Every structure is written in structure tokens, then in C-alpha cells.
Amino acid sequence: MDGIKEPQSSYLSIKNLWKSFGSFIALEDVSLDIQEGEFVCFLGPSGCGKTTLLRAIAGLDLQTRGRLVQAGKDISNLPASERDYGIVFQSYALFPNLTIEKNIAFGLENTGRTKNEIEQRVSELLDLIGLPDQGPKYPAQLSGGQQQRIALARAIASGPGLLLLDEPLSALDAKVRVYLRHEIKTLQQKLGVTTIMVTHDQEEALSMADRIVVMNEGKVEQIGTPNEVYCKPETLFVADFIGEMTQFRGIITGKSSIKIGNTELNTAAHQFDEGREVSLTIRPEDIIP
């Protein structure tokens, strides 16, 4: 039942999650455990289900079936307003008629804090994101990168247990994106907040995430560290989607050999049966002249 505490093995546990829109299956039996303080990226092409999964976690679009447990509490059917998270959208979603200070303070006004406490918290957050003097300004007076930092400050203002980032950098130019990658990761490590970021940018995921969840057609293809998904892809989709990869078709000729055309090559030991057709994949940087 919603709200009941369960034995805690991970901070966020996603269990056999499905989401359908009519006959279309957007998420198919997705399971994942996220540890406290971890930075996880949902990575995949458009339409793979990564944003649908984030929205299910946020309670913005409930799953068709499956369970979500956060900090030992079943939140599967809780409304978004009763879940413990802050969220940043691609579009910033700042109030144009409010000053920067009031935008950040918006989520603090009904939390029992005094006016002085709210002002102090807003000042702390502006210092934290490196914009200490921008409080009296309006969103239109700031750059896109600055606005996104304000959106981030607003999301963490109440000290949520979970930070959700829905492609927060995709609307920014390349130089600003690279700068904010570092800023967001540094801030996340400083705060220790469990963070999930949705992105279709593999470079973004590889440079920021502790672990990457690679998704395709509503399913999880692989979960692993950036090094694992890049160097040891578990499926052809992951091998092809992340980085550059050349593929060859071959036939297994032994427990540590493969034949491609008329050439037989030695490989690492494997469990494939002799005579089986397989794909051999090679990264360009692994080819030695």
C-alpha cells in the first residue's frame, strides 16, 4: 500500500514497470535499483521511453502496472504533490513575471519557514549556483545558461531526496552545455542528492553519470558505468548507439577464435558454440597501425 515503509536496500527501486498508451507499449517490464547519492542517466534515442520513465517516477504520468519504492516507501500511486523530488525541465519553466529571488522562493512559501528563513535560503542557493547578485532581476534579463541554473536552484530549494532532470541542457548552445555539465555534476556531488537525468546525448551521459541506463523501444538494453557500456556493450544496439563502432559478421571456429571471411582471428575466451554466426565489433581507437 502507498506510504508503507519497506525494508530498504536501495534509495529508489523500480519494479517491473509497464506503461501503455492504448495499444502502444511505452515501457516494458522496466526494473532498476538506484543507490542514495548516485547520479544516473537515462540514455536513448527519441521515443525510447526515457522521459516516460522519468514522468512515472515523478507521478506526472502514472505507470500502467509495476511498483516504485523511494526510501523504503511505496510511492507507486501517490500524486506528484506527495512525492519527495525536485525537477528541472528542458524549458526552464521559470515564472517570467517573478524576480529570480521569488522564482527560487516559490516552493518554500508554504513549508512553514519564516520570511527571513526563506530569504536566507534563497541567498544561499544563489551563492551555490554562482549568481549571488542576480536575485532582483527577471528571467528575461538572464542568459539561457543562467536561467537553467536558477531552475536548478529552485528544484533543490526544499532539499528534496531526489532530483529529476529532463534533458536540462538540450536547449543550450554547445559551449554552455559543456560548462553546465561540470557545474551540475559538481553541485550534485556537493549536495549528495540522488539524481536522475534524461538525455539523448551520449557524451553528456558518459561524462556525468555514475551509471547509465541505455533504453530502446521501451526496454532497458544495459545498465552499467560509463566504462562498462562503452567498452563492454551487452547488445548490438548499445554498441552501435554509444560511440563509433565497426561491425563484422563472422563464424565461431573455437573457444577463442572467430573467422571473418577468409581470415581467422583470436578472441577472448567465450561461451559461443562452434559454427555460430556472431558480430565482431571494434572501436576505431582500438585499431593499432
67 burial level (CB within 10 Å; 0-12, 13-18, 19+): middle
Using the predicted structure, report yes or no on whether residue 103 has a pLDDT greater than 90. yes
pLDDT digits (tens, 9 = 90+) for 222-270: 999 999 999 999 999 999 999 888 888 999 999 899 999 999 989 888 8
Using the predicted structure, report yes or no on whether residue 119 has a pLDDT greater than 90. yes
**Helix, strand, coil % in the chain, rounded to nearest 5:** 30, 30, 40
Q: What is the pLDDT of residue 268?
A: 83
DSSP single-letter state for residue 106: G
Q: What is the pLDDT of residue 58?
A: 98
Q: What is the pLDDT of residue 109?
A: 85
pLDDT digits (tens, 9 = 90+) for 136-151: 999 999 999 999 999 9
Q: Report the distance separating Cα 265 and Cα 275, nearest Å.
A: 14
Model confidence pTM above 0.85: yes
Q: Report the distance separating Cα 50 and Cα 27, nearest Å.
A: 9
Q: Report the distance separating Cα 282 and Cα 280, nearest Å.
A: 7
pLDDT digits (tens, 9 = 90+) for 149-203: 999 999 999 999 999 999 999 888 888 899 999 999 999 999 999 999 999 999 9
Q: What is the pLDDT of residue 9?
A: 67
Average pLDDT of every residue of the chain:
93
Taking the domain 245-286, which CATH number applies? 2.40.50
> In the chain, what is the straight-line distance between the N-terminal and C-terminal CA atoms, in Å?
61
In the chain, where the domains are located: 12-239, 245-286
Region 95-102: mean pLDDT is 96
Q: What is the pLDDT of residue 287?
A: 83
**In angstroms, what CA-CA distances link 112 with 84, 116, 155, 163?**
17, 12, 18, 22
Q: What is the pLDDT of residue 280?
A: 85
Q: What is the pLDDT of residue 7?
A: 46
| Higher pLDDT, residue 17 or 173 | 17
Matching residue, cell 512525492? 83
Can you state the angle between helices 144-156 and 174-191, rounded to 10 degrees? 20
Helix (H) or strand (E) holding 152: helix 144-156
Is 246 strand, coil or helix? strand
Percent residues over pLDDT 70 in the chain: 97
Q: What is the pLDDT of residue 171?
A: 82
Which residues, including other chains, have CB under 8 Å from residue 86's CB and lie 6 or more apart? Answer: 107, 154, 155, 156, 157, 158, 160, 162, 163, 164
Strands 162-166 and 86-88: parallel
Burial 215-226 (b: 16+ CB within 10 A, else e): bbebbbbbbbeb
Would you say domain 12-239 falls under CATH 3.30.70.100? no
Q: Report the distance separating Cα 168 and Cα 86, nearest Å.
A: 13
Cα angle 88, 3, 5; round to 5: 105
Using the predicted structure, report yes or no on whether residue 8 has a pLDDT greater than 80. no
Nearest Cα to 57, choosing from 78, 35, 72, 40? 78
